[in-house]
Amino acid sequence: MSNYKVNPPPKDIITLYRTRLSREKGYIKKDWGARTRIALVYPNHYNMGMTNLGFQSLYQLFNQRTDVVAERIFLPDDQEMRIYLLSGKPLLSLESQSPLSNFDLVAFSISFENDYLNILKILEMGRLPLFAFQRSEDDPFVMAGGVTTFLNPEPLSPFFDFFLLGEAESNINIFLDLFISLKKDSSPKTKLIKTMSGSLDSLYAPSLFQSGYSRDGCLNSFEPIENNLPKKINVPRKALTGQVRTSIIRTPDTLFGEKLLIELGRGCGRSCRFCAAGYIYRPPRIYSKSRTLEALNKAMASHHEVGLMASAISDIPDLEELTSMILEKGHTFSLSSLRADKLTPGLLDHIRKAGQKTVTIAPEAGSERLRRVINKHLTEKQIMDAVSMIAHTSNFSIKLYFLIGLPSETKEDLIQMADLVKGIRERMIKMSASRGTIGQIKLSINCFVPKPFTPFQWHPMEDISSLKEKQKMLKKALAGIGGLKITFDAPKWAYIQALLSLGDRRVASILLMAHEAGGNWKKAFRLSDLKPDFFVYRKKSPDEILPWDFIDNRIDKRHLLHEYRQAMKATQSEVCNVGQCYRCGVCTKENT
């Protein structure tokens, strides 16, 4: 849904984009001149892209260079789409309203597999051929980065010239130096791509790799086409020693409104076995306190509200002190999901004073056993203590995240989930009794999707029909609880997400069919020779080549397998202990 608020809406796209720009503060407009022109694309609507700190940070990184001009492109929302269809115009950038095809480089920033279909829509609206091999020397290069590309870019591989893996701050300038200098030489595209692949170990060009399959359909080879090309693609990380990452563009037209986003840390050391971000952003890192204070003070000089961001926000040391300082200076803040075992009365009081109405915690599973399977390191007592503290502080609503379909989950685990929610409600009532007002429980129950580079990468996703049964069962079990709002995600979307997370390059053909069928996945599955269940429901063998094995994330596959086996025995393992622990392969004595 668009948040575009000008009424009546402009009738042409150029006026609409100029009006949108006029409501923004902080965007960058440069003359093109001889600069390298980059279309930075977020494959979803404007209001989604602009809340993504990674996307905003890339915009800054590109535009910091004097030899580059980067402009944003988004998937048009329904209102824009109608205007595009009526006008017949190709997809335009926001800053100068230039067609996508006029840029030198189209750079997608991809965070979610469910946006993959939008990528094809954007290429089509930009009048670019969808397949890399169909594009001419005059067409821009099409590349991508972002978290799903360093988990498994293979289902997207034929549509892209190359992917730049890893955290952008660590390789974007090296990449741009190389790209700009090679482009000046007017090298043919294939030569330029090969030279970049040979020179930059985090650049993956799918056309330079070939795959082979055995009769049972499994991958049996995945090799570069020439011996001198690297066999593995590196995923670089960045020590958070530089400037703190913040958003630069403010607009009232997003969910976050005028709030400035500040990154306090990256990666999470809790080692939850289902969480891809927890693995591929290892090791957990934080900015120094002085850097954080510097960024906060700068942010507060121009913004009333700051959004504090980190994968594990409650693991940030001094969080209580930081939030106190923000309030003392007459400003306000927001925080994302918190660890139940890290809440303190002081922090909750700050959250109340900041005007936040909901506190989010994520038990993920209802039973102690299943929380051990996923390595959550969270007991029922810790959850209930947190609920007491939350309800004692204020009439906060409590948002709870749970997953269903987790490996080894039984009916008993679901009964215990319902019991836990009932227990939480009762505790909220008891702790709020003297106050007389009580918040809601907002229960968000999502389907588990196995992800690459996690211990569950070998595990099949649970069958859609079984997930639907579980949803029905939970609805029934939770029916009598007052003040409870439940949302379930749709198992069919989880299935598609699993296909796009776990598939190899052959899955691109299904993606194309779904695009040609106007987003009708059912039709695409019917027409395809490839069986999507093969990727989603099949338990993978520890010996088989996985489509993402060519990516060197520094995480030892043997460690993941060990963790998987521990999970199936419901045994917890340690959390990260940077500087003392070297077990997953990411930290070494040299780099910590």
- Taking the complex as a whole, the smallest distance from the CB of residue 270 to ligand SF4 amounts, in Å, to 10
What is residue 191's three-state secondary structure?
Answer: helix
Tokens of residue 362, six digits = 């994520």
Specify whether the CB–CB gap between 251 and 45 falls below 8 A. Answer: no
The answer to whether the beta carbons of residues 34 and 69 sit under 8 Å apart is no
Nearer to ligand SF4, 493 or 582 (CB): 582
CA distance 252 to 450: 36
- With CB under 6 A as the contact rule, which of the stretches 28-36, 43-51, 160-168, 582-590 interacts with ligand SF4? 582-590
Residue (251 or 457) nearer to ligand SF4, CB: 457
* Closest approach of ligand SF4 to the CB of residue 170, in Å: 16
The distance of closest approach from Cβ of residue 454 to ligand SF4 in the complex, given in angstroms and rounded to an integer, is 13
Which residues share a beta bridge with 551?
A: 233
Q: Which residue is nearest to ligand SF4 (CB)?
A: 576
Residue 577 touching ligand SF4 (CB under 6 A): yes
- Rank residues 352 and 583 by Cβ distance to ligand SF4 and give the closer one: 583
**How many CB atoms sit inside 10 A of residue 20's CB?**
19
Do the beta carbons of residue 515 and residue 120 sit within 8 Å? yes
Q: Which helix (H) or strand (E) holds 306?
A: strand 305-309
Which among 323, 257, 262 is positioned nearest to 298, based on CA atoms? 262
In the 8-state DSSP scheme, what is residue 342? G
Give the footprint of ligand SF4 on residues 284-313 (CB under 6 A): none
Query: Judged by CB under 6 A, which stretch of 138-146, 214-222, 541-549, 571-579 contacts ligand SF4?
Result: 571-579
The 3-state DSSP class for residue 70 equals: strand
| Sequence-ordered strand ranges (E) for 343-390 | 358-364
> What binding mask, one character per residue, do residues 77-116 give for ligand SF4 by CB under 6 A, x or -?
----------------------------------------
83 or 576, CB closer to ligand SF4? 576
User: Which CB sits closer to ligand SF4, 523 or 583?
Assistant: 583
- Interacting stretch for ligand SF4, rule CB under 6 A, among 302-310, 470-478, 513-521, 579-587? 579-587
- Rounded distance between C-alpha atoms, residue 393 and residue 344, angstroms: 10
The correct pick among 578, 589, 590, 591 for binding ligand SF4 (CB under 6 A) is 578
Distance, in Å, from the CA atom of 2 to the CA atom of 9, rounded to the nearest integer, reads 12
Beta-sheet strands, E only, within 405-529: 441-447, 484-488
Nearest to 261 by CA among 313, 308, 321, 220: 308
Smaller CB separation from ligand SF4, 398 or 576: 576
The answer to whether residue 431 forms part of the interface with ligand SF4 (CB under 6 A) is no
E strands within 317-434?
332-335, 358-364, 397-404
Residue 582 binding ligand SF4, by CB under 6 A: yes
| Nearest to ligand SF4 of 424, 586 (CB atom) | 586
Which residue stretch of 45-53, 92-100, 164-172, 573-581 sits at the interface with ligand SF4 (rule: CB under 6 A)? 573-581
Q: CA 387 to CA 361: how far, in whole Å?
A: 9
Q: For residues 205-224, which are near ligand SF4 according to CB under 6 A? A: none
Judged by CB under 6 A, which of 273, 282, 451, 470 binds ligand SF4?
A: 282
Helix axes 464-478, 491-502, angle to 10 degrees: 140
Q: Is 30 in the site for ligand SF4 (CB under 6 A)?
A: no
- Name the token pair of 359: 């506190």
Contact status: 200 vs ligand SF4 (CB under 6 A): no
Residue 581 as a binder of ligand SF4 (CB under 6 A): the answer is: yes
Query: For 514, which DSSP code?
Result: H
What's the alpha-carbon Rg for the chain, to the nearest Å? 24
CB of 560 vs ligand SF4, minimal distance in Å = 11
Look at residue 565 and give its three-state secondary structure.
helix
Asked if 584 touches ligand SF4 (CB under 6 A), the answer is: yes
Structure tokens at 124: 């089509």
Give yes or no for residue 561 binding ligand SF4 (CB under 6 A).
no
Closest contact distance (angstroms) between CB of 277 and ligand SF4 is: 13
Cβ of residue 592: shortest distance to ligand SF4, in angstroms? 7
Instruction: Select the residue interacting with ligand SF4 from 132, 165, 343, 586 (CB under 6 A).
Output: 586
| Rounded (5°) CA angle 36-42-44 | 155
**Minimum distance between the CB of residue 312 and ligand SF4, rounded to whole angstroms?**
12
Q: 151 φ, ψ to 5°?
A: -90, -55
Q: Name 576's Cβ contacts closer than 8 Å, sequence gap at least 6.
A: 269, 270, 271, 282, 283, 284
583 binds ligand SF4 (CB under 6 A): yes
Pattern of binders to ligand SF4 over 219-258, x per CB under 6 A? ----------------------------------------
Taking the complex as a whole, the smallest distance from the CB of residue 52 to ligand SF4 amounts, in Å, to 25
Segment contacting ligand SF4 (CB under 6 A): 1-9, 176-184, 458-466, 575-583? 575-583
Residue 60 burial (C-beta neighbours within 10 Å; 0-12, 13-18, 19+): middle
Please choose, out of 2-10, 102-110, 481-489, 583-591, the segment that lies near ligand SF4 by the rule CB under 6 A. Answer: 583-591
- In sequence order, the β-bridge partners of residue 43 are none
How many residues form the binding site for ligand SF4 (CB under 6 A)? 12
CB-wise, 167 or 504, nearer to ligand SF4?
167
Nearest-approach distance from CB 581 to ligand SF4, in angstroms: 3
Smallest separation (angstroms) from ligand SF4 to the CB of 118: 33
Rounded distance between C-alpha atoms, residue 143 and residue 105, angstroms: 7
DSSP 479: T
Q: How far is CA 32 from the centre of its chain?
A: 31
Q: Prior bond to 8 cis, omega within 30?
A: yes
Among 146, 153, 283, 460, binds ligand SF4 (CB under 6 A): 283
Q: Residues near 202 by Cβ (< 8 Å), separated by ≥ 6? A: 164, 165, 166, 170, 171, 233, 234, 235, 236
Binding segment for ligand SF4 (CB under 6 A), chosen from 238-246, 332-340, 496-504, 577-585, is 577-585
Write out the residues near ligand SF4 by the rule CB under 6 A.
269, 282-283, 576-578, 581-584, 586-587
